[in-house]
Structure 1
Amino acid sequence: MYSHDLFHTLHQLSRHLTNKLNEVLKSFGLYGAQWSVIFVLKSKGSLTQKELCEYLFVEAPPMTRTIQRLVKQGYVKQVPGKDKREKHIQLTEAALKEYPKWENAVSEHNQSLLKNFPEASQEQLLTLQSSWLKKLL
């Protein structure tokens, strides 16, 4: 059975991609975890911390730290919801202004990683990953 090899390889690849992404984002003062939050907020709009945690599969304590760092950097703000305990996380104008630079750097990085990976294989991998993720949810 290949399950150990499969998962070991997935973990190695994930760590490698995370480290490389962190290198790309370092010049902007960001880390991959912060980029994930920024990207989701840009894509989906305002979300609660709980919604961010659920979508990104991150537990509350590390998400709280990530959000606090982004607030301190001026890239997100917390807006009170209907319930006093609930806060919606939103991108600030500063983040929206910087977003194109971040997105461009990440996009160039992603393209460099995929340059020797045939497009048909990329599509197949995306299909497999999406299907697997849907079955896990």
Structure 2
Amino acid sequence: MQGFFQRYLSLYRPLITTLNELMSSQQLSYSLWQVIFYIKNNGASTLVDISNYYHVEKPTITRRVQRLEELQIVEHIPGKDRREKVIQLTASGEEIYKEMRKKITDLEHQVMEGITHDEQLVVYETLPKIQSHIMRREGSKSE
């Protein structure tokens, strides 16, 4: 199917812009939200864990975490190794997560209006398969 990537990318940018606008009330962006979301769903985590999950360089995650620390959304906790930086959500971070999660869920419902449950399910189940194929392809390049 030609044009699939173009169609996907034409959705991606407006979605990120909308999410950034939605989160601006808390001085957040989608890239900062990714860190919050990961910690909320995986518990206290290292920067390496987060960078590996999102397939981004550790310095990128370090900058995001520093910004979240400034906003008092995340804090450091002692790790097994003193060199290892482990972070968790603060009480304020937990509240901000709840507030933003509700707004994002409301947005998800709005943009899915008129799309049947079965159609939503197909997309929901297909996107991870595409991601897996891309990651497998990239993995074979490095071998």
- One fold, TM greater than 0.5? yes
The DSSP-based 3-state class of the residue aligned with 1:95 is: helix
Gaps of 5+ in 1: none
1:48 maps to which residue? 46
Give distance in 2, aligned partners of 1:109 and 1:73.
24
Give distance in 2, aligned partners of 1:28 and 1:61.
23
Give distance in 2, aligned partners of 1:94 and 1:75.
6
Give distance in 2, aligned partners of 1:59 and 1:14.
21
Gaps of 5+ in 2: 137-143
1:118 offset after TM fit, Å? 1.7
Give distance in 1, aligned partners of 2:24 and 2:69.
18
Q: TM-score, normalised by structure 1?
A: 0.89
Kindly provide the CA deviation profile for residues 110-129 of structure 1, in whole angstroms up to 9, marking residues without a partner as x: 11111122211110001111
Aligned length: 135
User: Of 11, 16, 19, which residue of structure 2 is paired with 1:18?
Assistant: 16
The DSSP-based 3-state class of the residue aligned with 2:75 is: strand
1:133 maps to which residue? 131
Query: What amino acid is aligned across from residue 12 of structure 2 in structure 1?
Result: S
The DSSP-based 3-state class of the residue aligned with 2:77 is: strand
1:58 offset after TM fit, Å? 2.0
1:10 offset after TM fit, Å? 1.9
Of the structure 1 ranges 88-97 and 56-65, higher mean CA displacement relative to structure 2 is found in 56-65
The DSSP-based 3-state class of the residue aligned with 1:90 is: strand
Q: Percent same amino acid at aligned positions?
A: 30
1:21 offset after TM fit, Å? 0.5
What are the within-5 Å matches in structure 2 for residues 1-137 of structure 1? Answer: 2=2, 5-135=3-133, 136=135
Q: TM-score, normalised by structure 2?
A: 0.86
Kindly provide the CA deviation profile for residues 54-77 of structure 1, in whole angstroms up to 9, marking residues without a partner as x: 112222222111110000000001
CA RMSD of aligned residues (A): 1.6
